[in-house]
Amino acid sequence: MAKREEHTVIDLFAGCGGLSLGLYQAGWSGLFAIEKNPFAFETLKANLIDKKKHFNWPQWLPQTPHDINEVLENYKAQLEGLRGKVDLVAGGPPCQGFSMAGKRVEDDVRNNLVFSYIKFIDLVRPKIILFENVKGFTYAFDKKKNGDAIPYSQKVIEGLKGLNYNVKPYIIDFSKYGVPQRRNRFILVGVQESIGTPDKFEAMLESYKDSFLRKKGLTANTTLCEAISDLLQSNGEIPTPDRKGFKSGIYGIEESNYQKLLRGDYVENHIVPDSHSFAKHTEDKSTCYKNLLANYEIRGKRIDGDARKKWNIKQRSITILDPNTISPTITGHPDDYLHYCEPRIMTVRECARIQSFPDWYEIKKKYTTGGKMRKIEVPRYTQVGNAIPPLFAELAGIVLKQII
């Protein structure tokens, strides 16, 4: 019997592993992943290194968090030695400096990681490239002040073309591919000129989509209710196993094929979903939330500005989620959204469900953080909010195999 051909991948800026998980499910074989933050790396390691043995990790690279610039400096010869052995380099640098939802800081030092990315590609020379970032990556900083300013997306495109890659940029809404969330992202696909072009990537996503989702029992349009209605607080509560002093919800009745898929066989050995711990709201906030659910009729639209005073909303804004449509973009800020029928914010597991993480994928380390620690810690909510939805990553992995 012929040995199944392996398709090899390196995941850069891997985060908690959403992209790697999808590629694993699509049959890719991981070589290693580079992620600087120890919180996110702990989640990646627990699930994909220890549990699923996804990576054939090289002996020369410790299985620890790594800064990409240190890897480039300390392992240049080993990276060059991988030429001809790597089918895909996937992943994109941190997006916070480019995000339209944030402050768009031009001098955010993380923005320069795009050049580290290009250096990595230059050393390894994979057959194909999958680069992801926020839509704001395609907009130049201060275009009004500097008419010659070009967006970082163009800098990446030009850099890869200089390395003899054919490249094609896309703006893709993951909700078109079964993810119950409105999430537009910049996707750049690069293919070595000697192999071909990436021009049909999106068309292939469309052509494979229906059969891909049908095999999973899904449709292209999954509502928020279909994603998380089995995770209600009213199902009952028990003490959170890994968060002293907090309560977690227990599983309710499975109510959709999406829930069936993501629950898998995890529920056979677990009463409590992982990372399904409820926040402790103040009495004032709970009253506000109850009032909004009872009397504020608009769902799925942000409440901000003067309306905040009228409804006694203390935070910058909040959106009451609509159970009958897809979710807005999941972020690392849990206070952004109010549950559609319970006076509380979402749990980490509910956010992970919306991001299409299966329930067996356990999110590690702190639930939340704040203040100055935001710069160095990536808690569970942020890990999930920063991730690429594994469901889309799996479909992309199937398509990329065909491109090779």
Q: What is the CATH number of the domain that holds 352?
A: 3.90.120
Catalytic: 95? yes
- The catalytic residue among 95, 225, 288, 351 is 95
What letter does residue 269 receive in the DSSP assignment? T
The 3-class SS string of 36-86 reads CCHHHHHHHHHHHHHHCCCECCCCCCCCCCCCHHHHHHHCHHHHHCCCCCC
Residue 97 lies in a domain: yes
Q: What is the pTM of this model?
A: 0.93
Residue 371's pLDDT is what?
Answer: 80
When pLDDT is cut at 50, 70 and 90, the band that residue 98 belongs to is: very low
Residue 171, domain extent: 8-218+388-403
Structure tokens of 334? 């849990």
Encoded amino acid at 141, one letter: F
Strand partners, 249: 237
Query: How high does pLDDT run on average in the chain?
Result: 92
In contact, 42 and 64? CB cutoff 8 Å: no
What is d(CA 18, CA 167) in angstroms, rounded to the nearest whole number?
23
Are residues 238 and 328 both part of a single domain? yes
Say what percent of the chain tops pLDDT 70: 92
376: in domain: no
Work out whether the CA dihedral 67, 70, 72, 78 comes out positive or negative.
negative
Asked if 200 and 297 sit in the same domain, the reply is no
Over range 255-261, report the average pLDDT.
98
Q: What is the pLDDT of residue 104?
A: 37
On whether residue 176 sits in a domain, the answer given is yes
CA–CA distance, 180 with 366 (Å, rounded to integer): 26
> Is residue 3 one of the residues assigned to a domain?
no
Strand (E) or helix (H) holding 224 = helix 224-228
Residue 377 lies in a domain: no
Q: Are residues 144 and 18 in the same domain?
A: yes
Cα separation, 18 vs 331, in Å, equals 14
In this structure, are 205 and 299 located in the same domain? no
Percent of the chain exceeding pLDDT 90 equals 82
Q: What is the CATH number of the domain that holds 206?
A: 3.40.50.150
Amino acid at 163: L
pLDDT at 1 > cutoff 80: no
Q: Cβ neighbours of residue 113 under 8 Å, at least 6 residues apart?
A: 13, 68, 93, 94
- The verdict on residue 380 lying in a domain is no
How does residue 139 score in pLDDT terms, banded at 50, 70 and 90? confident
Q: Are 104 and 135 in contact (CB under 8 A)?
A: no
How far apart are the C-alpha atoms of 191 and 168, rounded to whole Å? Answer: 9
**186 and 232 both lie in a single domain:** no
Residues 259 and 190 in one domain: no
Judge if 189 and 68 occupy the same domain. Answer: yes
Averaged pLDDT, 206-225? 97
In the structure, what pLDDT confidence band is assigned to residue 95 with cuts at 50, 70 and 90?
low
Strand arrangement of the beta sheet that strand 302-303 belongs to = 302-303, 318-320, 337-338
The phi-psi region of residue 294 (left if phi > 0; otherwise alpha if psi is between -120 and 50; otherwise beta) is alpha
Question: Considering its fold, how many domains does the chain have in total?
Answer: 2
Q: Are residues 199 and 282 in the same domain?
A: no
Pair (178, 250) in one structural domain:
no
Averaged pLDDT for residues 212-241: 97
